[in-house]
Amino acid sequence: MFDMLNIAVCIKQVPDSKTVRFDKETGMMIRDGVETIINPVDLNALETALSIKDRHKACVHVLTMGPPSAETALRDALSMGADQAYLLSDRAFAGADTLATTRVLAAAIKKIGTMDMVICGNQSVDGDTAQVGPGLAVRLQMVSVAYVDALELLPNAVKCKRMNGYGHATVLVGLPALFTVIPSINTPRMPSLKAKMKAKSAKIPVWTALDLGLSAEEVGLTGSPTRVLNTFVRSFEAKREYLEGDAQTQVAALCERLVAAGVL
Amino acid sequence: MKNLPKNDWKGVWAVAEFHNGLLMPVSLELISKARELADKLQTETVAVVMGHGLKESVCHALLEYGAHEVQCVEHEALAVFREDVFAQILAGLIRLKRPEIVLAPATHQGKAYMPRVQTLLETGLTAGCLGLDIRTEDRVLIQTRAAWGGNFFVNIICPEARPQLVTVSPNVMVARRTEATGRIGHFQIPMDWLSSSVQVLESVEEKQDEPARLTQAEVVLVAGRGIEKRENLKLLQELAELMGGAVGATRAITDLGWLPEYTQIGQTGVTVSPRLCITFGVSGAVQHTVGLRNVEILVAINKDPAAPIFEMATYGIVADVNEILPLLLEKVKKRRYSGQV
């Protein structure tokens, strides 16, 4: 039987796509006025940890790598019920790819202490790689199970349902282990008033590369094997016929065209 | 791995995906692409296939699609998928043979073991590539993927560390048959590469019909964030049934749990090629639209006239989905039941 469980949850602050608008000329995102949120599936990761804590003695540690403003994401996590939050922030961390990111997260988790479980969202909406979780597991000498849709703590292991692209598999995992979860695993709880008050005054340590015992060569852009060579816009050869008028007229015009094309 | 000089790494590998006795089509797409890259580099192509029950015909198919050599890793422990085991084997093989480039499928499995391989080897990995090319002067792989936040793409390189690792989604590359002239090798894996604290108790195949229906549908209706209400999905399903089509979604909708994960179209989801695609409240971020390939007629319905989806639309309707969807459903119903337009 597990005694007190230590669970680390890694989260990321991302732009809120609901507030994103596009420039009509360039097709680029307009950065002004874009709000930030916790990467949605990271809330499911946190909920997974908190629901274990509901039934079992556990300490939930939340950490994020980001600019000083990412502290708000950590306070949100605390107000959902996380016990401790850690901000990994250093100018030297900027421009990190997934390999450099896992180095920072792994160093921080090791500094916090020995973890029984690490839980991450399967991927971030902006990076969209799904690489940080499994990569982090290797640095922590843990097995990993990705795309977890249900997770249950047994007396001496974790049983989970993981998606594999063809259906799902039920797997039994000895701890310590890292799990990446998908949105359908649960519904994240709302913050409680009590936890919200506590979160407001909570002390959040800020750790730099130096605090984590990492050199500047290991982190950020310098510590990243990949580089952005350039970006380019795709242009389309589309007909771009706008159907005008009120909704009735627009629908009628559309149906006419679809019938003429033989698709309706 | 930075400790070896770059030119000690030679060859282009493609990792196949083998599931339940079948070689997945993405394997042939990747080996064809690997061959094309290897020809530009004047080097050899190796296909690696890991699994249990690997028949001669499986290895032969990989030869027919461009492999100079097939490395067959057969073991009963590989009948089930465990990312730590697959990563240990692949990283082990890479350390032994030192390929300069490795392509792997951006499937659930590939995305679960490749980041482990990346970290074991301390090198770069680019997820969900849509295009791959060689910069011949320094043998660097140019890796194209969709960028977040707009209608643009990004080219990524891994200039120093080797190997250069990428994942590629199914249906992105084209499988090309050639003459099978290569050789098949069987790799005996050391037992300790198979050790794991993960035990697979049961595997269940599910809903294979539905995902297949979406990727093969002639008509695809896509739900985006602008659909606003979950109830609208019922109308959309009904419309899809009337039109003989299937419903797909953007990440925003599958993240909300409104539609199952397998309906997500885009860089990290499926790629569809219907004759007709109608998008409802889809903004058109490139991470989604790269999943729409060779669509003959694209209809965009969105209340934001600046939404990039209109750039690629055949017909654009600037209006609220809540207004258009019920009207369209009614109209199509009439057409189906009485032949009226």
CATH number, domain at A159?
Answer: 3.40.50.620
**Strand, helix or coil for residue A176:** coil
- Using the predicted structure, report yes or no on whether residue B336 has a pLDDT greater than 90: no
Q: Which residue of A has its CA nearest to B275?
A: A263
- In a domain, residue A213? The reply is yes
- In a domain, residue A256? The reply is no
Q: Which helix (H) or strand (E) holds B35?
A: helix B25-41
- Yes or no: domain B209-338 corresponds to CATH 3.30.2130.10: no
Could you tell me the residue ranges of all domains in chain B?
Answer: 6-194, 209-338
The CATH architecture that domain B6-194 belongs to is 3-Layer(aba) Sandwich (3.40)
pLDDT at residue B211 in the model: 74
Q: Which residue of B has its CA nearest to A231?
A: B154
pLDDT at residue B151 in the model: 63
Instruction: Give A-chain residues touching B199 at CB under 8 angstroms.
Output: 171-173
Give the span between the Cα atoms of B34 and B172, in whole angstroms.
Answer: 13
Out of B257, B285, B312, closest to residue A238 by CB: B312
Instruction: Give A-chain residues touching B219 at CB under 8 angstroms.
Output: 263
Q: Which of residues 99-118 of A touch B (CB under 8 A)?
A: 99, 102
Averaged pLDDT of chain B: 92
Domain extent, residue A59, equals 5-218
What length does chain B have? 341
The amino acid at residue A236 is F
Domains identified in chain A, total number: 1
Torsion of CA B73, B77, B81, B82, to 10 degrees: -100
Q: Residue B297 and residue A263: Cβ atoms within 8 Å?
A: yes
pLDDT at residue B146 in the model: 86
Note the pTM of the prediction, 2 decimals. 0.85
Out of B82, B115, B155, closest to residue A131 by CB: B115
- Please return the burial class of B335, using the count of CB atoms within 10 Å of its CB with bins 0-12, 13-18 and 19+: middle
- Using the predicted structure, report yes or no on whether residue B91 has a pLDDT greater than 70: yes
Highest mean pLDDT among A2-16, A86-100, B148-162, B170-184: A86-100
Instruction: Give A-chain residues touching B298 at CB under 8 angstroms.
Output: 238
pLDDT at residue B1 in the model: 58
Give the span between the Cα atoms of B186 and B189, in whole angstroms.
Answer: 9
Q: Does the beta carbon of B3 lie under 8 angstroms from any beta carbon of chain A?
A: no
Q: What is the mean pLDDT of each run of 10 residues along chain A (264 residues)?
A: 90 85 66 87 97 96 97 97 98 96 98 98 92 98 98 95 94 97 94 92 97 97 95 76 94 93 86
Q: Residue A97 and residue B147: Cβ atoms within 8 Å?
A: no
Distance in Å, alpha carbon of B158 to nearest chain A alpha carbon: 4
- How far, in whole angstroms, is CA A126 from its chain's centroid? 9
Q: What is the interface pTM, i.e. ipTM, of the complex? A: 0.91
pLDDT at residue B338 in the model: 73
Q: Does the beta carbon of B157 lie under 8 angstroms from any beta carbon of chain A?
A: yes
Q: Does the beta carbon of A19 lie under 8 angstroms from any beta carbon of chain B?
A: no
* CB-CB contact of B75 with B85 (8 Å): no
- In a domain, residue A83? The reply is yes
Determine which of A21-25, B119-123, B271-275 has the lowest per-residue pLDDT on average: A21-25
Distance in Å, alpha carbon of B183 to nearest chain A alpha carbon: 30
Q: Does the beta carbon of B317 lie under 8 angstroms from any beta carbon of chain A?
A: yes
pLDDT at residue B340 in the model: 62
Distance in Å, alpha carbon of B70 to nearest chain A alpha carbon: 24
Topology alike, domains B6-194 and B209-338: yes
Q: Which residue of A has its CA nearest to B200?
A: A171
Q: Residue B317 and residue A182: Cβ atoms within 8 Å?
A: no
- Using the predicted structure, report yes or no on whether residue B311 has a pLDDT greater than 70: yes
